């Protein structure tokens, strides 16, 4: 955030302007546009309530929607045997729709060119005056960080149900420059999004190349990814667990023996397995930094967000990580359980109970090869089959971890694979950094244009 947009630590308010006994709501947006450019939202958004005639329109022909905090909009799926009993209202393509309870979070969207979009009374529908404002320009204003904070500061109501009143929303003044200026701001944003999308495409391409080269090294074809069958049969001799998802995944598992190298249980490659500590961590940097499951990202450790933990000397020594330790996430959501990374840090770190630390026999396998294999589709298929759902989360224990099968090429081949992966990861990291910098720059430039401190070409 630029200095011009940064909040002030101290400010004064005239008593005549004191509407609420709430210091956080006193702060206003100090727009840098001329006064004649500023217009209340209600001057160009016309509220509309086009009630759906349920006699003329079957519910199955209508399309309810969901609006997210980032202003995106999705079609809401409703079971064929269910329908809404409350009143419904049409929202036509190009209309602005506000999710009342989540307006404080920026849940405002433009209706796409979809047929028969409807909302309940929990939403407000507005028709924009296109002679005054471009809906896309208004949408970008709502999504600026400073405007969303302004909405959040001015929510009212009972705890747990606080919301921004529509009357307050409609009274807010925003800059309404000539349409060509609005269009220029929107075009600037779109151009940045194209560049960001290109970087993300490059990342996806590099990730695909990495897997392709990995399978080439192992002389394996990538496993097919298809729709999950609605019905399947399993022989009783292959029935090891009373779980539909387990048997479904096991049935579709890839045959590793088709490759060039021998296959063994992961447990045959390990010398040590250990669960982390369940002691409570702190945010005050007291004690030893502790690695948690959120520190494992994209197959590597991300130590930007760390907590610390105070342990006695004996427990600390027992749990200190060493170079080459593989950290395996034993419990998380279905798609994240099983993600792992290798510890290569020089400083002292420990690890949390949701992680399992395994040591690999280095005369049999390289830790980085093992971790990449487990993160690959070959490992993911087996982890998905083994993981069990417990109170909304998936879980896999150390015994199940040891049973995962893994291809074991000679160490020199493993070394080549690890070198290839590290090179690709470096390229991916650079591309991801570029995308993040572009995103931050685009958001900053857009906010400065809308705020009125950056010239609009």
Task: Spell out the CATH class of 36-175.
Answer: alpha beta
Q: Which two tokens stand for residue 183?
A: 């269009």
Nearest CA among 19, 110, 118 for reference residue 63: 118
Q: Is 306 helix (H, G, I), strand (E, B) or coil?
A: coil
CATH topology of domain 243-258+262-408: Adenine-n6-DNA-methyltransferase TaqI; Chain A, domain 2 (3.90.220)
Please answer whether residues 108 and 97 qualify as being in contact, where contact means their C-beta atoms are separated by less than 8 angstroms: yes
Q: Which two tokens stand for residue 355?
A: 């992680």
What is the distance between the alpha carbons of residues 334 and 340, in angstroms, rounded to a whole number? Answer: 14
DSSP 191-230: HHHHHHHHHHHHHHHHHHHHHHHHHHHHT-PPPP--PPPS
What is the distance between the alpha carbons of residues 160 and 361, in angstroms, rounded to a whole number? Answer: 53
DSSP 172-186: -EEE---HHHHHHHH
Runs of H (alpha helix) within 255-376: 313-319, 367-375
pTM of the model: 0.77
Question: Residues 6 or more apart from 297 whose CB is under 8 A from it?
Answer: 341
What is the distance between the alpha carbons of residues 371 and 383, in angstroms, rounded to a whole number? Answer: 13
* Pairing relationship of beta strands 96-99 and 326-329 according to DSSP bridges: unpaired
Could you check whether 36-175 and 243-258+262-408 share the same CATH topology? Answer: yes
What is the distance between the alpha carbons of residues 380 and 225, in angstroms, rounded to a whole number? Answer: 12
| Unique residue bearing structure tokens 């495409």 | 201
What is the distance between the alpha carbons of residues 74 and 82, in angstroms, rounded to a whole number? Answer: 19
What is the distance between the alpha carbons of residues 97 and 169, in angstroms, rounded to a whole number? Answer: 13
Please answer whether residues 265 and 273 qualify as being in contact, where contact means their C-beta atoms are separated by less than 8 angstroms: no
What is the distance between the alpha carbons of residues 132 and 19, in angstroms, rounded to a whole number? Answer: 30
Predicted confidence at residue 3, as pLDDT, reads: 47
Predicted confidence at residue 17, as pLDDT, reads: 62
Predicted confidence at residue 240, as pLDDT, reads: 47
For the chain, the structural domain boundaries read 36-175, 177-220+413-457, 243-258+262-408
One pLDDT digit (tens) per residue for the chain, 457 residues: 454 455 556 667 676 665 655 555 556 889 999 999 999 999 999 999 999 999 999 999 999 999 999 999 999 988 878 889 899 999 999 999 999 999 999 999 999 999 999 999 999 999 999 999 999 999 999 999 999 999 999 998 887 788 999 999 999 999 999 999 999 999 999 999 999 999 999 999 999 999 999 999 999 987 665 555 566 676 766 554 445 554 555 545 568 888 899 999 999 999 999 999 999 999 999 999 999 999 999 999 999 999 999 999 999 999 999 999 999 999 887 778 899 999 999 999 999 999 999 999 999 999 999 999 999 999 998 998 888 766 667 888 999 999 999 999 999 999 999 999 999 999 999 999 999 999 999 999 999 999 999 999 8
Cα separation values, 108 from 30, 153, 161, Å: 22, 17, 18
């Amino acid at each position: 955030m630029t200095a011009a947009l940064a909040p002030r630590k101290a400010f004064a308010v005239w008593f005549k302007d004191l509407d609420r006994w709430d210091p956080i709501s006193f702060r206003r947006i100090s727009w840098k546009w001329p006064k004649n450019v500023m217009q209340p939202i209600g001057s160009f958004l016309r509220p509309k309530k086009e009630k759906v005639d349920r006699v003329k329109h079957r519910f199955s022909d209508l399309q309810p929607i969901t609006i997210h905090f980032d202003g995106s909009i999705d079609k809401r799926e409703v079971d064929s045997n269910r329908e809404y009993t409350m009143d419904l209202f049409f929202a036509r393509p190009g209309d602005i729709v506000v999710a009342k309870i989540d307006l404080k979070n920026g849940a405002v969207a433009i209706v796409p060119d979809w047929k028969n979009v409807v909302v309940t009374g929990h939403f407000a529908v507005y028709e924009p005056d296109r002679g005054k404002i471009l809906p896309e320009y208004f949408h970008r204003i709502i999504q600026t960080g400073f405007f969303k904070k302004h909405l959040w500061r001015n929510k009212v109501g009972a705890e747990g149900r606080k919301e921004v009143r529509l009357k307050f929303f409609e009274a807010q003044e925003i800059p309404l420059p000539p349409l060509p200026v609005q269009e220029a701001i929107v075009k600037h944003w779109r151009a940045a999004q194209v560049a960001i999308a290109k970087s993300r495409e490059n990342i996806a391409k590099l990730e695909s190349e990495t897997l392709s080269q990995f399978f080439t090294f192992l002389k394996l074809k990538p496993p097919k990814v298809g729709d999950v069958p609605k019905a399947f049969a399993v022989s009783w001799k292959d029935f090891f667990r009373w779980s539909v998802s387990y048997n479904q995944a096991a049935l579709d598992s890839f045959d590793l023996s088709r490759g060039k190298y021998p296959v063994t249980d992961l447990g045959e490659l390990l010398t040590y397995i250990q669960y982390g500590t369940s002691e409570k961590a702190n945010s005050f940097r007291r004690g030893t930094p502790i690695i948690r499951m959120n520190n494992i990202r994209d197959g590597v450790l991300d130590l930007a967000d760390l907590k610390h933990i105070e342990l006695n000397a004996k427990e600390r020594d027992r749990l200190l990580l060493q170079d080459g330790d593989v950290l395996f996430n034993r419990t998380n959501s279905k798609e994240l359980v099983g993600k792992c990374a290798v510890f290569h840090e020089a400083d002292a770190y420990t690890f949390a109970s949701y992680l399992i630390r395994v040591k690999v026999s280095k005369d049999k396998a390289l830790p980085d090869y093992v971790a990449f294999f487990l993160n690959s589709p070959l490992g993911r298929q087996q982890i998905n089959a083994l993981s069990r759902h417990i109170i909304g989360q998936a879980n896999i224990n150390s015994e199940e971890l040891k049973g995962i099968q893994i291809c074991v090429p000679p160490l020199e081949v493993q070394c080549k694979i690890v070198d290839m992966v590290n090179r690709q990861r470096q390229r991916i990291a650079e591309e991801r950094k570029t995308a993040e910098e572009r995103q931050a720059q685009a958001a900053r430039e857009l906010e400065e244009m809308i705020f009125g401190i950056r010239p609009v070409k």
